[in-house]
Amino acid sequence: MNIPETILAGMRKTNDLFCTTVVGHRDVDALDHVYTKDARILPPGAEMIDNLAAIKQFWLQAITGLNVTGASLTTVSAEQAGDTVVEIGQAELTLAGGQLVPIKYVVHWKVEDSAWKWHIDIWNMNQ
């Protein structure tokens, strides 16, 4: 990936927070540090969500509703675009029964408050 390691490290830090704290501890208030203040998410099977309170509510319902116990995020490619980054990635959710759900995504990353954050987040299922 033709992108500075410092940026990739910043992205990993945010992704780790999502996996460990938001999904692992079901602490959706930590999404303040994952998404920009004016972030938008485009979940499959729903309309776009364009405010952070509703994004928190979405993730709380998704994580508890599906009984998600773990998540991993892997960057497939990341391209710098001005002072932002466009990333293609693969996610894998682990459900309580041990089932793995493969997901692919595109995230438009921006720096906010000195941290790399998800500004636009869209995903879909592989199957």
Which residues are near a copy of itself by CB under 8 A?
40, 42-48, 76-77, 79-84, 86, 88, 104-106, 108, 120, 122-127
For 113, phi and psi rounded to 5 degrees?
Answer: 50, 45
**Residue 126 to residue 63: CA distance in whole angstroms:** 19
Cβ at position 83, least distance to a copy of itself in Å: 8
Nearer to a copy of itself (CB atom), residue 48 or residue 96? 48
Q: Rounded distance, CA 37 to CA 21, Å? A: 19
Report how far residue 120's alpha carbon sits from residue 69's, in angstroms, rounded to the nearest whole number.
Answer: 24
- Tokens 């602490």 locate to 27
- Tell me the closest approach of the beta carbon of residue 25 to a copy of itself, in angstroms: 27
Least distance from a copy of itself to the Cβ atom of residue 63, Å = 19
Q: How far is the CB of 2 from a copy of itself (least distance, A)?
A: 13
Nearer to a copy of itself, 82 or 98 (CB): 82
CB 119 within 8 A of CB 39: yes
Q: Which is nearer to a copy of itself, 40 or 117 (CB)?
A: 40
